[in-house]
A and B are shown apart, each in its own frame.
Chain A
């Protein structure tokens, strides 16, 4: 996929937030296969992050563990600075960290609203803002935001989550047009139901509505992110790639 990276003409690294499990871990594996040194950011799942990192180093890749909450601006800057010193600029950023805190709107508390918006949307903006300067200087960058079909579509009980993901798609479009002429692309993927710990409590009846009659796998979403993060996707920017087994078709 990433011939440029393998030839060594792109000097930098990739950062995946929420990279210890699920879609994030699958993306980490895919980017490592493409030859990127990959920084795995995680908040609490150190066992998961260490296992993914070990897998990558065992296969001859380079993985760096980056613990910490992506909402913390100062810590975020330290993370980027350390990566820049060790591997060069972050040229691929995948904003994948996300949480849910569901409830019907009349009962959705301020805390649940703010936590979800902060983690899913504001933190993605902060990492994007920090990453862009060096990407502009490098005349190369790939940012992929992991949104959701919830946002463009309704899902009862997820007003906060839907707002965060719709916001992420709006941010993706606008940042994309701001930086397009510097060969920095910004795109989103919108997964439907994907088999991860994140969705294990989702009612199985939901499968009936999916034309593919099954949930997706983290690897199927990661494959799309891998493409959007590749040098070959150079003319794709500001778009959202839906990965939902036909649910929103």
Chain B
């Protein structure tokens, strides 16, 4: 038994698209302050699971609980209001806009008083201050928050995207392939940032194909297979090749050594 409580839990999620069953009664558990990697082959139900958890799709059956209370997300916005922030691969930021603008996109702050309520004037100064503060918190070393995102390197851009999710999340940060398409050095920069996000006490769901990265930072590994959860593995005990074997079905879940399973 673990001491940290469950932040998010799902039981028996089912999602069908016509004749295709993407989720076939999947269970899911996420603890406070952990990095949970979600891995699986294409079509294993990985992205359908994440979409259900983030409100991007509505599951046909099953329950999702956040902090022990059942939730029914109708849209990604619902999930966001509940304290779950997502960061999607390659789709996270608007390149021509500044870092501060990107951080506050869709949650802009207005000036106090008449200027804000009648003239809808943005409080650019405060948004900039908060951006600097949050980014410093996460130790993202970017000189100016007023530079356009397109002036940043790929790794820095991804850091902005991850930091945006982390800066505003209250419970859960979902990261979809945050290190894909990055070089080694840039990838490490993003991994460092993800660790700091966890150390702030947030729960992180990391979807990744990159096994070395998963093994480097994940506390537990949720293996999706055929629309279900094949196993939850302990990356400190199991080998990378056995993990891949579980993922592909070469190793049946029953034959995984007991100490390799995470609890």
* B is a partner of A: no
Using a CB–CB cutoff of 8 Å, the interface residues on chain B facing chain A are none
